[in-house]
């Protein structure tokens, strides 16, 4: 069986190649890359011994194996990777549990509540916001509950096009099963291979697509959630007006009030009609206008991803200083050419020049859309390589209304840029792309590269990120559009959250998790 990396992204055998590394280093200022940090041996980590033993009834599903514990200590953010590489794992889970059934989850929660053990729900472990890391001190021990064994598509309703799926299924695992019914969930976050349905639901994940069916929230017919006070199961419905939505309370609850074990989800036929195009704009602000026109047209492109000039250059081979809009339409039912024609006309009205990407294009032939797609999937592996070389490299994202977007993007560039210059003795690189668009706003996604300093990477990054977060909050944006709150965003989330809603949410937490065992430290201090 192919092994996951315990310290970094994805598969252990898929790390960036020498050629990939050379290519990315060639684009960085000289002097940023140091000798690569070695990856510690598990045996050298000297993990704190487990402070608790699993009760006999749960012993078969609980592990104290050091690689399991080390691999479940952190998520996969830059600061997680740097700490793992430094062998800095002072707070590993005492046990890693792998429930095989929902009854196992119930038994785990019952035991944990009675023993004062903190429970960290864990799907694919791809959190980049400290969502799966225990940072508290009020519990006698910590058990990480890895749900990836609950990975079956249990039922398919082809008439309503819906499927009952266990929460621990990784993206490819559930898509393979749905493909047997000629259906697809069509939810492809960048973490697709290494994140689970339950994780998507608990963090309100955004998929790859720019508009329409892309947020996991909108796919949910019903949820089944194990809470310490009982199982909550909502009715399968296409829509309901019966009180506040039960599902919307659990969506985004990040494991703090229950563990999602399964869900009925709206699935789709596979798209067969497709059209793609690459549009170039001379300036980012002109591009924003063009993208806004498309987003407000009701055409609902599947892809509408705008790369600023720096991203277009690095990731899509655009050499003329243009911004690049990757535009696409898809349908399982009808041709999409007229929608593409109209969208391109709107882009042209705002100064865009375009090239259609035809199906006949040789996939090996370089084109901006194809180049960007390949780069996209390799990005997390490259990030790990750069992290080993001592480069600070991370992303953050947000959303805001259109009226605020130009000023927000500019302020993030300049304020984060200034912070890097101050902290890292020299300028860094801040690039921006738009990952999702809406009729009323947009989700900008930023990538930061900076010259690191051995041993100080985490504190440097934390300061840079704090600057970014302050800028987002001040300019009316959200602290997160799809990465979740976790522990890293908590300070800003608490300021963003309306006070009475915070009061209500604390009351919910207290009522469903009275002993406070569930993912302590996320959503609440």
Residue numbers 11-30 binding a second copy by CB under 8 A? none
Query: How many Cβ atoms from other residues are within 10 Å of residue 143's Cβ?
Result: 29
Output 96 or 294, the one with its CB closest to a second copy.
Answer: 294
DSSP state letters, 161-174: TEEEEETT-BHHHH
The residues that bridge with 90 in the sheet, in sequence order, are none
Judged by beta carbon, residue 234 or residue 385, the one nearer a second copy is 234
CA dihedral 6, 98, 260, 8 (to 10 degrees): 0
CB of 495 to a second copy, least distance (A): 10
Question: Should residue 481 be labelled a site residue for a second copy when binding is judged by CB under 8 A?
Answer: yes
CA 170 to chain centre: 13
Candidates 12, 53, 332, 407; binder of a second copy (CB under 8 A) is 332
- Taking alpha carbons only, the member of 486, 517, 503, 504 closest to residue 228 is 517
Phi, psi of 356, deg, nearest 5:
-75, 145
* Binding track, positions 191-210, relative to a second copy; x by CB under 8 A: ------------xxxx----
Sign for the pseudo-dihedral over CA of 392, 393, 396, 402:
positive
Q: Kindly identify the residues of this chain, within the stretch 117-156, that bind a second copy according to CB under 8 A.
A: none
- Which 246-285 positions form the footprint of a second copy (CB under 8 A)? 246, 248-254, 257-258, 266, 268-269
Residues in 485-504 that interact with a second copy by CB under 8 A = 485, 489, 493, 496-501, 503-504
Question: Residue 338 or 358: which CB sits closer to a second copy?
Answer: 338
Position 239 contacts a second copy (CB under 8 A): yes
Binding residue (CB under 8 A) for a second copy from 65, 421, 440, 462: 440
108's tokens: 């785990």
Which window, 67-75, 109-117, 164-172, 509-517, contacts a second copy (CB under 8 A)? 509-517
What's the DSSP call for residue 3? P
Local structure of 326: helix, strand or coil: strand
Question: Of 162, 185, 318, 420, which one interacts with a second copy (CB under 8 A)?
Answer: 162
Q: Per DSSP, what are the bridge partners of residue 314?
A: none
Stretch binding a second copy (CB under 8 A), from 18-26, 40-48, 76-84, 337-345: 337-345
User: Applying CB under 8 A, does 403 fall inside the site for a second copy?
Assistant: yes
Distance, in Å, from the CA atom of 204 to the CA atom of 183, rounded to the nearest integer, reads 22
Residue of 330, 339, 286 whose CA lies nearest to 308: 286
- Does 299 participate in binding a second copy (rule CB under 8 A)? yes
Residue 297 interacts with a second copy (CB under 8 A): yes or no: yes
**What is the CB neighbour count within 10 angstroms for residue 484?**
25
Binding of a second copy at residue 474 (CB under 8 A)?
no
């Amino acid at each position: 069986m192919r092994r996951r990396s315990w310290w970094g992204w994805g598969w252990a055998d898929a790390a960036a190649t020498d050629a990939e590394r050379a290519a990315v280093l060639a684009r960085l200022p000289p002097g940023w890359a140091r000798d690569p940090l070695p990856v510690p041996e598990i045996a050298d980590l000297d993990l704190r011994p487990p402070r608790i033993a699993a009760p006999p009834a749960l012993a078969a599903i609980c592990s104290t194996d050091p690689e399991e514990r080390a691999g479940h200590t952190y998520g996969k953010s830059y600061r997680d990777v740097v700490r793992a590489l430094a062998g800095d794992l002072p707070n590993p889970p005492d046990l890693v549990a792998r429930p095989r059934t929902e009854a196992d989850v119930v038994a785990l929660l019952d035991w944990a509540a009675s023993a004062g053990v903190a429970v960290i729900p864990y799907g694919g472990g791809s959190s980049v916001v400290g969502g799966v890391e225990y940072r508290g001190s009020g519990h006698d021990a910590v058990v990480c509950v890895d749900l990836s064994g609950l990975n079956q598509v249990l039922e398919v309703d082809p008439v309503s096009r819906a499927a009952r799926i266990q929460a621990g299924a990784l993206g490819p695992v559930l898509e393979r099963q749905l493909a047997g019914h000629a259906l697809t969930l069509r939810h492809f976050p960048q973490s697709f291979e290494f994140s689970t349905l339950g994780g998507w639901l608990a963090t309100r994940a955004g998929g790859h697509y720019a508009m329409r069916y892309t947020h996991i929230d909108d796919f949910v017919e019903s949820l089944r959630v194990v809470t310490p006070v009982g199982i909550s199961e909502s009715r399968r419905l296409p829509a309901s007006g019966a009180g506040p939505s039960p599902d919307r309370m659990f969506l985004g609850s990040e494991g703090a009030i229950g563990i999602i074990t399964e869900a009925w989800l709206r699935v789709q036929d596979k798209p067969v009609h497709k059209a793609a195009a690459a549009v170039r704009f001379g300036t980012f602000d002109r591009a924003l206008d063009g993208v806004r026109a498309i987003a407000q047209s009701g055409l609902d492109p599947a892809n509408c991803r705008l790369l600023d000039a720096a991203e277009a250059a690095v990731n899509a081979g655009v050499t003329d200083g243009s911004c690049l809009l990757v535009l696409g339409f898809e349908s399982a039912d009808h041709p999409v050419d007229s929608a593409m024609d109209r969208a391109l006309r709107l882009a042209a009205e705002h100064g865009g020049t375009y090239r259609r990407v035809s199906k006949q294009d040789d996939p090996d032939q370089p084109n901006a859309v194809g180049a960007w797609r390949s780069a996209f999937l390799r990005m997390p592996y490259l990030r790990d390589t750069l992290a080993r070389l001592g480069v600070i490299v991370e992303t953050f994202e947000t959303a805001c209304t259109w009226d605020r977007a130009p000023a927000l993007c500019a302020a993030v560039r300049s304020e984060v840029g200034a912070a890097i210059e101050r902290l890292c003795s020299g300028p860094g690189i801040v690039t921006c792309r738009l990952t999702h668009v809406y009729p009323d706003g947009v989700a900008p996604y930023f990538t930061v590269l900076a010259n690191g300093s051995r041993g100080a990477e985490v504190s440097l990054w934390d300061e840079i990120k704090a600057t970014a977060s302050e800028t987002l909050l001040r300019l009316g944006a959200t602290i997160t559009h799809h990465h979740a709150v976790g522990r890293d965003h908590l300070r800003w989330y608490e300021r963003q959250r309306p006070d009475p809603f915070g009061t209500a949410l604390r009351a919910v937490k207290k009522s469903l998790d009275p002993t406070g065992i569930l993912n302590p430290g996320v959503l609440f201090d």
